[in-house]
Chain A
């Protein structure tokens, strides 16, 4: 089976990046060709998503080579495909990849390499969401580290090499657990295939979830579950494994922060849904249901701890980064509802998936806006800013939109996922969900405080920019607004009509928990 469109979606960015790096004659050519290829990638991801949306059922767009690694006994396949769980993330990666490429048009340092790494990064992340073979998934999952390390350490600000190294060490720490668990699952089940697929003869080829049910495992299921959990919790990130995130986000260039918050964190949540939830439904001795209580507590701690620490931040990027810790706690909270009734489990898991998508667009937009502010004001230190609205109102409007979406305002997608997660999780884990819900009050606090101190007021605070610098501020260039408008559209569309996504997610989720 080979339809090709997913392979194209995954590899087009990297291939285009390589060709551009070799063939382009000027930085200007690199820039426009890379942006064009990211737009084509987005178009492909949109085709995949809408193709799935019109007929959401099973696994579609399968690209498959058996025995692509010719080692006897290694049952790994080159297997790409989308189901309801992954289709929206393919779209999200395409969307944010495009936004990141567009937002990088002001990069002047080593443009050729920059775009190469950025496009490779897009391919790696796309591969994670498109892979249905566990080994392939692992390879993409780890491969993303290389472009990310380069992008942060070369084009970053502040302490870029420290932050890049910290990011790599944390992820590799998780990756070690992941590798062990992946191999253990393979040895126990004899397959790397992550879902059941129809064979050409019309029967069903079982995947790991089916084969692992009730099977004897070479290690206790609880141990494997926690290994996967550690790997994905680092990525998500979940307290207490979150400390890499504020540093990496703060020091990364704008577009990389967009990718990092927008899609890289989602690899963790996606792994949790696909593997921790999907594989451990009926495992012997220990299932995901047994872990739900612990997950709920971790989620509540993450949410509140993240929000409380966020309140103390004075750097705009660091503030948004910490708020991600809080918001990704909601993902875990939604997953913990798996232990509940049918409606609670569905609502929680769909809410978790929604929260990942919406957080990707919202935080992506927030980082874009902070980037635009930083480009102009040359500082992100909140106490030094002020009065920006009067000079750069267009940036202000979208900054405010990102802020409102981040605090879960209805009409934006942030509200939809939060209410789903809260309703579902409260039914199962009332106290954890109740405490976590207080995170939305704290979110109002830090978001509005930041807005007030940066955009409102008569002008910049003492110690900030001079009056002449302030008066010389220029509002966003129309080209800056292209990615901003793209992400805002996604935020409002999902906020007003969530079924755009839930109708897709639910088919994947139902298949996962059944």
Chain B
């Protein structure tokens, strides 16, 4: 049994690091080297405690801790507490583990940056918030951390806030996710209005199990929650903020915008999995997830910025996870979350390493780098193979579980998303290897200097943040995390959820562990339905591997051997290329048409105009007329006797005339 204090410490340690760095910032200056080590120490301790928590849940199952009052006002109370179940334990280890590696990496990557101190403060805040999110027991408490990860993401995307693009991307990310959180909030409010006690997640599980929540109620609540989840996990149609979020430092992209924060949406759906299952929202989840998987991958086909390729890939992989949840695949979804966290963080860190050497993220100015940076190359290829889902890397196991699980419900939706999933598998392999070939193979195309020269020739401004070329392998402190993540990319899948008994970890270890949770899965059948013991599906495994190999083959034909010229292809389908390159014009639709023109100029403009010209004008007119009436009435008291006499005579005449006429 792990101590409650130990769990609180998991998040309190990074909070402490944040507070210390933040409070001492005026004294220690913007580039204090020890802030990195404070953060690493705090997160390292959190990681150790997270592992202890995982071990404790493994041996003793779900653990219960008391609720405490956060607000108590008469009969209105809000409480908080800890929820330590297998889902929490897995997430704790993933979050603190990836975060720890990323902090090491950042030591070198952020070296010499003007905001070094600030960077580690934000990173600590983010890690604490994310850890708090996964062990929240109360829905409002969860929402608190949900918003806090949002704000940490905002701060880190806009870390280089003197770059207009970074400032705009940060704002966009926060407002889009806030918009989505409006749905989440309405879901919470509706849930609360049904029964205030259900804010407590274990109580909600009981209520669902006891059939206390009607299907329509569950559907509305689930849809609200899913809106929040879709925003955080960048699912269509709320996806467009994530590619822009790449404006943040690369380690941030690795930790927040691929491995952990963006998976919070998946986590949320998993957390309320019984509620979703009791609702009619599952089909929506599956279809949105499946569609996003293909939709995002298609934009990754033509992107030239290596981080954007990875960002589209993240959106697409999150789509896979949502798809899996939508067809009831609790275990496959979280298994993919688990493997994806490692290999995608590795890919991002490797891309940061590439940037460290070339000074740019634009793959058109890279090429031939495998000669200079063999470790980075190896890390990228292993991560790429894992992402493409090739045997025996971790991505293969998790992706295939998802695809196999789509057949489980035997529904039309299931077959539809299987098709989408297979298509996305092909696209994924293609764009990933297109990126690897453009970056590491062929000849070197000049890096940041060449890009700057080209921009100058075109008369365009050089964007801030462009670095310098120094072609060499990155320092060990950057390479080591990439290597560790590559090892995880190879082994994580096989060792965590082996299809055969391995001794250390028994057959279906991950699935059995995750479903060993009576509150969520009441019966062995329910656990089985959620994918506790996935069957290996040969046709699907072979089919998806074949598609992935086809994708790699096509990529090598186009970008390695250039037997098919990408330029010719682009000329053959100019419209398709442009639509993909402009991201289906969603930025134009949202930012220009809806927000700027529609909402800001037209709608809010009309309100603002009416406020000044109608409503306030009423006030002004009332006061003006009061003045006029006063001045008008003042005539009767102007102090001139002749006026008074005249008025008296006029009155008398009128009175007499009236008398004569009427009577």
Contacts and interface: CB of A to CB of B under 8 A. Distances in A.
Interface stretch (B156-164, B320-328, B409-417, B573-581): B156-164
B151 A404 contact: yes
B69 interface: yes
B186 interface: yes
A379 interface: no
Interface string A315-339: 0000000000000000000000000
A266 interface: no
Interface stretch (B276-284, B291-299, B378-386, B611-619): B611-619
A509 B74 contact: yes
A312 B605 CA distance: 7
Contacts of B181: 441
A273 B244 CA distance: 46
Interface stretch (A140-148, A192-200, A286-294, A417-425): A417-425
B192 A457 contact: no
Interface stretch (B138-146, B368-376, B448-456): B138-146
Interface in B157-213: 158, 161-164, 166-168, 170-171, 174-175, 178-179, 181-182, 185-186, 188-190, 192-193, 196
A32 interface: no
Contacts of A243: 611, 615-616, 619
B75 A458 contact: no
Contact of A342 (B75, B154, B605, B616): B75
Contact of B71 (A430, A502, A510): A502
Interface in A419-467: 419-420, 422-424, 426-427, 430, 433-434, 437-438, 440-441, 444-445, 448-449, 451-452, 455-458
B162 A440 contact: no
Contacts of A166: 619
Nearest to A341: B75
A434 B71 contact: no
A58 interface: no
Given A243-B616, A505-B73, A309 B604 contact: yes
Q: Say what secondary structure dominates the interface of chain A.
A: helix
A308 B603 contact: yes
B75 A343 contact: yes
A437 B192 contact: no
B179 A441 contact: yes
Contacts of B464: 458
B174 A434 contact: no
B278 to A, nearest CB: 22
Interface in A334-383: 342-347, 350-351
Nearest to A407: B178
- By size class, the interface of chain A is 35 or more
B193 A427 contact: yes
Contact of B168 (A404, A424, A452): A452
Interface string B608-628: 100100011001000100000
Given A312-B604, A423-B192, A444 B73 contact: no
B76 interface: yes
A410 interface: yes
Contacts of A509: 73-74
A411 interface: yes
B196 to A, nearest CB: 6
Interface string B457-480: 000000010000000000000000
A458 B616 contact: no
A457 to B, nearest CB: 5
Nearest to A428: B193
B143 A448 contact: no
A499 B603 contact: no
B75 A346 contact: yes
Contacts of A456: 158, 161-162, 164, 166-167
Contacts of A170: 619
A410 B76 contact: no
B608 A309 contact: yes
B185 A422 contact: yes
Contact of B76 (A311, A347, A434, A452): A347
A176 interface: no
Contacts of A420: 71, 73, 76, 78
A389 interface: yes
A409 interface: yes
Nearest to B154: A448
B662 interface: no
B147 interface: yes
B217 to A, nearest CB: 13
Given A309-B607, A422-B185, A441-B179, A458 B163 contact: yes
Interface string A372-414: 0000000000000001011000100000000010010111000
Contacts of B78: 419-420, 423
A190 interface: no
A411 B179 CA distance: 20
Nearest to A394: B26
Contact of A441 (B182, B196, B607): B182
A510 B185 contact: no
A216 interface: no
A503 interface: yes
A305 B607 contact: yes
A240 B166 CA distance: 39
Contact of A312 (B143, B179, B193, B607): B607
Contact of B193 (A410, A426, A502): A426
A429 to B, nearest CB: 10
Contacts of B178: 407, 440-441, 444
Interface in B593-607: 599-600, 603-605, 607
A458 B168 CA distance: 12
Given A305-B607, A312-B607, A455 B193 contact: no
B215 interface: no
A390 B619 CA distance: 43
Interface string B290-325: 000000000000000000000000000000000000
A415 interface: yes
A390 to B, nearest CB: 6
B70 interface: yes
B158 A437 contact: no
B519 interface: no
B73 A411 contact: no
A342 B171 CA distance: 40
Given A389-B161, A434-B186, A498-B70, 15 more contacts: A170-B619, A346-B75, A351-B73, A390-B162, A407-B178, A419-B78, A420-B76, A420-B78, A437-B189, A448-B154, A448-B170, A456-B158, A456-B164, A457-B162, A509-B74
10 contacts: A170-B619, A309-B604, A394-B26, A420-B78, A426-B193, A433-B189, A437-B189, A448-B171, A498-B71, A499-B69
Interface of A: 166, 169-170, 240, 243-244, 305, 308-309, 311-313, 342-347, 350-351, 387, 389-390, 394, 404, 407, 409-411, 415-416, 419-420, 422-424, 426-427, 430, 433-434, 437-438, 440-441, 444-445, 448-449, 451-452, 455-458, 498-499, 502-503, 505-506, 509-510
A-B pairs, 8 with minimum CB distance: A346-B74, A347-B76, A456-B167, A350-B73, A410-B144, A312-B608, A426-B189, A456-B161
